[in-house]
Amino acid sequence: MSFTSLEFIGFLLAVVVLYYIVPKKYRWIELLVASYTFYLINGIPQIAFIIATTLITYFAAIIMQKRRDRYKAELDAVRDQITKEEKQVMKKTANSYIHTVQVLAVLADLIILAVVKYLGFVLDNVNSVFASFNSDFSLTLPHIIVPLGISFYTFASMGYLIDIGRGKYNAERNVAKLALFVSFFPTIIQGPICRFDEVAPGLFEGHELKYDNLKFGAQLIMWGFFKKMVIADRAALYVTEVFSTGYDKYSGTALFFGMFMYAVQIYGDFSGGIDIARGAAQMMGIELPNNFERPYFSQSVAEYWRRWHITLGAWMREYVFFPIMLSKPVSGLSKKARKVSAYLAKMVPSVITPFIVFILIGIWHGASWKYVAFGLYNAIIVASSVALDPVFDKLNKLLKINTEAFSWRVFRIIRTFLILGVSKILVKAPSLTTAIDILRKIFTEADLNFFKLTQESEIFSIGINPANMLVLAFGVFILFVTSCFQESGIHIRESLAKQNLVFRWVIYIIALILILVFGMYGSAYNAADFIYKAY
C-alpha cells in the first residue's frame, strides 16, 4: 500500500477516526493493530521477520534490564560493606553480562537484515570469484522478498538495544508496546528512524483530539503529496529514461541534467514520504523527528549529511561514529600519532571514522558495489575536507575571500551540490561501471545545444514533454521559495495559520488542485513507488 494511494488515504482516515473513538488508555493498542494490519496488507509472509526482530529485541532488553536491576539491588544491599575495588568488580561483571547480551541481540537483528538483504550480493560475488577460476561451483539462495522497511525497523531496534545496554532508560516491559515502536505504520515504509525515548511517550500516551493536530497534520501530508506526486514522479520520467541501459545514446549534458533531475526526484520522493509519515502521525498527536532540513542548502558535504536523512546520520553518529572515535584502538592510534604531531593526532580519528561510517551508510542503501563506492566517495570528501580544513583556511585568507559574503555562501552551496551530484550518479546508475561511464561522458561530451528550448531539443525528447517540464519547473520553484522561507526561520504552516480564513482556504484549494490535476497517479501514469521503500 503506497503512501500516495487511495487505499492509504482511506486506511489513514479510518485509523485516525478510530483512534479518537477508542478510549484514551487503549489508543496505543489501536495503533498497534493498525500497524500490523498495514504490514499484513503489504505482504503476509514477511511479517515473520518483523515479529522475530521484535521478540529478539524485547527479550534481550528485558534480560539486560533484569541484570542491571539485580546489580543495583545487590550493590544497595552491600554498598557500605564492600570496598571500592569490589564495587568496581561487581559493576564490571554486570556490565560485561549486559554488554554480551546486547552484542548478541544486535548481531541477531543484524543477521536477519544481512541474510534478507545482503546474502544474495555476497553469494553473487563468491560465485563470480569461482567463475573467474573456471569453476562450476556456485551457491544459490532461495528467493526472499525483502520485508517492508526492514532497514528502518532493524536500526530502530538496534538503537533501542544499545540504549538499554548503556542504561539510558529502562526496558519496556510490555512486549506489545515495544512491537508498536518497531512497527508503527507511518515510519515503516521509509522512516524516520526513531529513538525509543523520543517517540515512545507520544506513541503510548493517548492524545486528545486537537484541531491544530488534524489541520497541521493534513497540511503536511498534502505538502508530501505535492513533493512526491507533482515533483518527484514527474522528474522520474526524465531520470528513468536517461539512466536506463540506453544511457549511451544521450549527450554528456543530458546526463548532467539527469543528475540534477535525480537530485530533485530523490529529495521530493524521500522528503515527501517523510512529510506524509509525519503528517499522519501528527494527526494523532504523535510527533516524529524531522528527517530533512533543506539539504541542498548545505555548504559542505558534512553539513549535507546533517541535513539529509537526519535520523540515519544521528543514528550513525550515536552508535557508530562516537563509539569508534572513543574506542581503544582508535584512541591508541591517535596517541601514537601524537608522537608525530598534534595535528595528526587530531586527524587520525576524524579521518578513519568517517570511512567506516560512510561505507556502512553506503551498504545500508543497498547490496551492490555501487553503494560501497557511494559510501567511499562521501567518506573521501568528508575526510579530506576535515584534513585540509587548515589549508583552505589559509587559502581563503591569502586570496582575501570574505567567507561571510552571500556570494561565497552561494558558491559553496553550488559546489557542494555538484560534488554530491557525483554520488547521486553512483546511486542511480544501474551499476558501478555504468556510473563511471556516465561521469566520463558528462566531463567529455558536453552539448550546449541541449538547453535550446525548442520542441526538437534533446531536453524534451527524453521521457518528458515541454508541458510536463513546465509543471516540474513550477513545482521546483514553489519548493525552492518555500525552502528559502524555511531557511530564514519562517515556519510556513504556522505563518499560514495566522492569515485570514479566505486566504488560507484559497491556498489549500490551489494546493489540492495542483496535486489532483498535475499529480502523477492513476492509470494514466505508472507512478514510481517510493524509492526508499526498497531499503
Partner 1 sequence: MNKKQIIRTVAFLLLVGVLLYFLCDLFEYGNNYITKRYKTYKSFEENTVDGVFIGTSGVDRYWIAPQAYEEYGMTVYPFSVDALPSWLVIDMIKEARKYQNPQLIMIDIRPFASPVSPDKTLTENRAKRVIDMLDFFSPLRIDAIKRTDEVMTEKYSDYDTDIITYYLTFINSHNKWDSEDFTFDDIGSTKSTHLGMYFVKKFISKKKLEPFKAYTGTKELDPINEKYLNELLDYIEAEGLNVLFIDTPHNMKEEVAMQSNRVCEILNDRGIACINYNTAEGLAACDFDYKNDFYEGSHTNFYGATKFTNVLSKYISENYQLPDRRGDEACEEWNGVYERTLKTIKKWEKAKAKK
Please classify residue 97 by burial: count the beta carbons closer than 10 Å to its beta carbon, then call 0-12 exposed, 13-18 middle and 19+ buried: middle
Cell of 508: 489549500
Q: How far is the CB of 509 from partner 1 (least distance, A)?
A: 6
| Candidate list 36, 59, 369, 525; residue touching partner 1; CB under 8 A | 525
- 481 touches partner 1 by CB under 8 A: no
The contact mask relative to partner 1 for 211-250 (x = CB under 8 A, - = no) is x--x------------------------------------
- Quote the CA–CA distance of 256 and 244 in Å, as a whole number: 14
Stretch that binds partner 1, among 107-115, 176-184, 417-425, 515-523 (CB under 8 A): 515-523
Q: Judged by CB under 8 A, which of 64, 441, 519, 528 binds partner 1?
A: 519
503 binds partner 1 (CB under 8 A): no
Query: Quick one: which of 96, 492, 509, 526 contacts partner 1 (CB under 8 A)?
Result: 509
Please report whether residue 518 would count as binding partner 1 according to CB under 8 A: yes
In the set 88, 100, 461, 465, which binds partner 1 (CB under 8 A)?
Answer: 465
Q: How far apart are CA 517 and CA 507, in angstroms?
A: 15
State which of residues 414, 446, 484, 513 lies at the interface with partner 1 (CB under 8 A).
513
Compute the least distance from the CB of residue 17 to partner 1, in Å: 13
CA–CA distance, 17 with 443 (Å, rounded to integer): 55
- Least distance in Å: CB of 475 to partner 1? 14
Burial label, 503 (beta-carbon count in 10 A; 0-12, 13-18, 19+): exposed
Binders of partner 1 among 390-409, rule CB under 8 A?
none
The candidate with the shortest Cα–Cα distance to 473, out of 257, 299, 270, is 257
Residue 394 C-alpha cell reads as 589559509
Is there binding between residue 516 and partner 1 (CB under 8 A)? yes
Is the backbone peptide bond immediately before 192 cis, with ω within 30 degrees of 0?
yes
What are the residue ranges of helices labelled H in 143-249? 150-166, 175-183, 185-188, 196-204, 211-225, 233-242
Tell me which stretch binds partner 1 (CB under 8 A): 104-112, 179-187, 365-373, 502-510. 502-510
- The least CB distance from residue 185 to partner 1, in Å, is 21
Count of residues touching partner 1 (by CB under 8 A):
24
Is residue 21 involved in binding partner 1 (CB under 8 A)?
A: no
Q: Looking at residues 188 to 217 of the shown chain, list those that interact with partner 1 (rule: CB under 8 A).
A: 209-211, 214
Which residue, 10 or 167, has its beta carbon nearer to partner 1? 10
- Cell numbers at 19, concatenated: 483512534
**Member of 468, 482, 496, 511 binding partner 1 (CB under 8 A):** 468
Residues 6+ apart with CB under 8 A from 410: none
How many C-beta atoms lie closer than 10 Å to residue 174's C-beta? Answer: 11
DSSP letter for 229, please: I
Check binding of 432 to partner 1 (CB under 8 A). no
| Comparison of 129 and 509: residue with beta carbon closer to partner 1 | 509
Residue with cell 549486559: 98
If we measure between CA atoms, which residue out of 413, 444, 380, 429 comes closest to residue 262? 429
Shortest reach from residue 286's CB to partner 1, in Å: 18
Residues 52/163, Cβ–Cβ less than 8 Å:
no
Contact region with partner 1 (CB under 8 A), list: 34-42, 184-192, 317-325, 509-517: 509-517
Nearest to 287 by CA among 176, 172, 195: 195
* Close Cβ partners of 400 (under 8 Å, ≥ 6 residues apart): none
Smallest distance from partner 1 to CB 524, Å: 4
Q: Which residues contact 407 (CB under 8 A, 6 or more apart)?
A: none
Calculate ∠ Cα 261-267-273, nearest 5°.
130
Which range, of 78-86, 107-115, 374-382, 519-527, touches partner 1 by CB under 8 A? 519-527
Q: Which residues make up the interface to partner 1 (CB under 8 A)? A: 6-7, 209-211, 214, 465, 467-468, 501, 505, 508-509, 512-513, 516-519, 521-525
